[in-house]
Structures are given as structure tokens and as C-alpha cells.
Structure 1
Amino acid sequence: MKKKFPIHPANPQRLCWGCDRLCAANDMLCGNGSDRTPHPVELFGEDWMDWKPGSVDKPLPQAIAAADA
């Protein structure tokens, strides 16, 4: 049976979240790169499950014009 993915783990920095093994950050077994894969809550914040495509505000036209200048 597959493990449930924790939505708000207590200490996400202690594990690698790159595969189903959930190895300790200092003892990765799968070789999933040289660094551990962070949990989505570390990348996107506490409301990471509420994010939906298109929910990010689009940049204002003035900001786009300033970036092109």
C-alpha cells in the first residue's frame, strides 16, 4: 500500500521528498541527485495545496513595459 503524502509535515527539512522512500536528508539511498528534494511546503508556503493554475496575478502592463526598457 502506498504511503499517504504528508501535507504539512512537522520537520520537512529532515527528509528527501524526491521519491517514495523518504530517506533522511543526510543518508539518501536512491541517488536522486546530490541534494535532497524539498517538500512543496518549503518551496511554496503553507497554502501550497490551494494553488491552482491561473491563480497567480498577472504582471501589470507598466511592469512589463519597464522590464522591456
Structure 2
Amino acid sequence: MAKKFPMHPKHPERVCWGCDQYCATDSMKCGNGSDRTMHPAELLGDDWASVGNWGFDDADSKEAQSLTTAPAHTG
């Protein structure tokens, strides 16, 4: 069974997101070690899951949408 994909990890730059192993960038197991796969939030921004069909179940989609539609703090 695949691990649940983190929607908003605290430090996505520390992990390779290319497979279910989520290896540290300095000890990747599945690739040739040349470069890591970036998290979608690094490429597309924090609202990455609200656009497109990423194949997540409804609970994940609702969580992502609630995070992106929360009112902005103005104070």
C-alpha cells in the first residue's frame, strides 16, 4: 500500500518525492542520485492541489481546497 502523499510538508526541499520511499536528498535509494524530484508545492505553489486532477480521494481534495480558500489574515 502506498503512503499517503503529504499535501503541505514543512520542508519539501529535504525529501525526494519521486516514489513512495520519500528518501532524504543525500541518500536516495531508487534513482541514480543525480537529482531529486520536487514536491508539487515547490513547483506550483501552495494551492497546487486545487487545480487539475491529481487522483487524490475526496477527503484529500476537500482538505486541500479548505487550505487554499481560507480567508487571508489582515492584521
Asked whether the two chains share a fold, i.e. TM above 0.5, the reply is: yes
Gaps of 5+ in 1: 54-69
Distance across 2 between alignment mates of 1:27 and 1:4: 21
The share of aligned pairs that are identical, in percent, is 60
CA positional deviation for 1:52: 2.8
Q: What is the Cα-based RMSD across aligned positions, in Å?
A: 1.7
Structure of greater Rg: 1
4+ runs deviating over 2 angstroms: none
Gaps of 5+ in 2: 54-75
Q: TM-score, normalised by structure 2?
A: 0.64
Which amino acid is 1:50 matched to?
S
Residue 31 (1) aligns with residue 31 (2): yes
Instruction: Report if aligned partners of 1:18, 1:32 keep a CA contact under 8 Å in 2.
Output: no
Aligned residues: 53
Aligned to 2:61: none
Q: TM-score, normalised by structure 1?
A: 0.69
CA positional deviation for 1:3: 1.1
